[in-house]
Each structure stands twice: as structure tokens, then as C-alpha cells.
Amino acid sequence: MPAGIFLTSLNTRAFIAFTSSLHQTKKRYLCAQNNILYMPKMLSQKTILFTILISCCIPLLLRAQAKDSTKTIEVLHADKWNMIRDSKVGNKQRLLGAVRAKHEQTLFFCDSAYIYGQNNDIEAFGHVIIEMNDSVKIYADYLKYNATSRQALLKDNIVLHNRNKRLYTNDMAYDRNTGMANYWVWGKLVDSTNILTSTKGYYYSREKLARFKDKVNVQTPEYIIKSDTIEYNTERKIVRFSSPTTLHGDSVYAYAENGFYNQLNKDLVLKQNADIHRKTNTIQGDSLYMNDSLGIARGKGNITLSDTAKHYVYACRHLEIDIGFCRTAQTTFGLSRDAFL
């Protein structure tokens, strides 16, 4: 029986025996007078106060002990299990073979492990698996986990599974309090339609959101998107960018420094030094919108439309194009009255 459970059981039995003894003492010394209970003088006032204090404190101590016991790491199984004395970290448990451990509702599996009781840590090696009750499962070669802070550090061959999404990396920290994973060397997120890679990244499993930083590359069925800063909503399939970004499609190239691409409805919004190139046509403007599936392109603010094959340049404040601009030799477009050649 674990020491915490034994101590709790022992304290509970002591408390029951104590209260029973107290009850017998009261029966022996209490009497009724005018329907008011009173204690004979043979029990001093200090004794009564001490008795009341102990009666109140024991339940609080038991609850505190039970609360602390929920924070410890519980060993469920190991083929071999022994205790090692260590002057630096205190006593540690060494577990070998088919190791299974538990902290709260999270399960840990590995080939071997050390459990450091003083720091409330587990260090796991080989075929590490973390199973959480919020549909997240993590695989790695190495794990160090602190049960008090609920923080995990993982290394080598890491795969985080969250429903239909997979996050691959070799160095990762995971916060069980927030459900956030982050990496700082290289990482790749794969879902049902897209692949996203970057040097640094943050994945929020509960918010269904991922943020990528440095050398970000996004592959969708329609575009290859390259940027320095991207936010991706894994449920709504929206890629947002807030730094110089390029988009390459089958017959289109686009650039902007802010905007987003909605993969579900094919909306592409480009802002800040935006331009779109298709075949011989180019649109430049403060704000551009394009939906390739609907065959529509719009622009607002300092718009320039040019065609290198037909040798024309139009400038205007507002523009809407039926993307014959994109698909045929015929181009139809509407310009505001301030357009000029």
C-alpha cells in the first residue's frame, strides 16, 4: 500500500478512535440541568479548548493530505522496480520494462523511467507515450515531466496526435494546464488537407489554433504560401499572415504583407503593397480580393491594372474584374470614373 494511503487510513482510524473516546468521556461526565448541557469542573477549560481544536484540525489535515496525494505520480506497473539513494536529488525509483504510470487523468508509457519523489518528476526513456483525456496523445523517445507544474519536455521523434492533426518535431514543450505545445528548432503540422512547416511554432489543441514563426511554408491544394509569421485555424481552415508573404498557384503569383486565405470558400484577401499576377495581367493596390473558384477579383485604393501583352495600364480607386482575367484571352472589368489610361 502506498505510504500516502496508509497514512491517510491510519489518521482516519486514529480520528475515529479519538472521537469515540471523547464521546464516552462526555457520557461519563456530562449531565443535564435545566435542559442545558454542561461539563463538570474535573475537565479543565484548557482541556476542552484543546479537544475542540483537535476535532476541527484533523479533518482539515486529512483533506490537505488527500489533496497533496493527487499531485503525486502513481506507478501502475513495471517489470522491475527498485529504489536508488541519490544525495543530489534524494531517493529515486528506477523502473524497467513495460512501465506504466499515472498522474491525475494522464497516463504515461515507456521502456524505462526514473521517478524523483523529492521533485515530483518522472523521466522516461524509449517508446514514450502520453495519453490525455482531451483527445491528445504524444509519442517521443524521451520525456521529463513535473507533476506539480504539469509541464512536459520531450525530445526526438515526437508526434503529437490531436484528432485528425499530427505535429512532428524533435524538441517540444507541452503545458497540460493550457493544452499548448511549442517547438523551437523545426516542426511540421499535417491535417486532412494542408502541410505547414516552420522553425518555431505554437500549437493550441483546445483553441484549434496554431502559430508559426520563421521560414513558414504552407502547402494547400491551391497555393504554396511562404511567410515569416502565420496563424492557422485548424477548424475553419483559415491561413492568416502578418509579414511579407508570397502565394504561388497553378497560374497565379501574389504578394502582400498582411491578409488571409480561407481554404473552405477560396477567399483570398491581400493588404499592404498587394499585387496579383496572372499570365500577362497584373493588379496592384492597397487592398485586393480574389476568389478563383467564383472568377472574381476586386481592388480598393490606388489600384493599377496592367497587361503586358495588350500594352495597357489603368489606374483607379476601385476595380472589379470578372476573371476572364484569369482563364481566357478575353478580359472584362469595371473601373470607377477616375480611371485613366
Q: pLDDT tens across 100-141, in order?
A: 999 999 999 999 999 998 888 999 999 999 999 778 999 999
Element (DSSP H or E) covering residue 182: strand 180-183
List the helix and strand counts (H, then E) for the chain.
3, 25
The residue among 52, 34, 56, 33 whose CA lies nearest residue 43 is: 52
Angstrom distances, CA of residue 231 to CA of 57, 71, 172, 228, 273: 52, 35, 19, 10, 20
Strands (E), 237-311: 238-241, 245-248, 252-256, 258-262, 267-278, 281-291, 296-307
> pLDDT averaged over the chain?
81
Q: pLDDT tens across 282-306, in order?
A: 999 999 999 988 888 889 888 998 8
Q: Is the pTM of this model over 0.85?
A: no
CB-CB contact of 316 with 336 (8 Å): yes
Pairwise CA distance, residues 246 & 73, whole Å: 48
What mean pLDDT comes out for the span 58-86? 71
225 pLDDT exceeds 80? yes
What mean pLDDT comes out for the span 304-310? 84
The whole-angstrom distance between residue 52's C-alpha and the CA centroid of its chain comes to 48
208 pLDDT exceeds 90? yes
Angstrom distances, CA of residue 54 to CA of 60, 85, 174, 177, 293: 10, 37, 43, 36, 76
151 pLDDT exceeds 80? yes
CB-CB contact of 99 with 78 (8 Å): yes
Q: pLDDT tens across 154-196, in order?
A: 999 999 999 999 999 999 999 999 999 999 999 999 999 999 9
Pairwise CA distance, residues 276 & 297, whole Å: 10
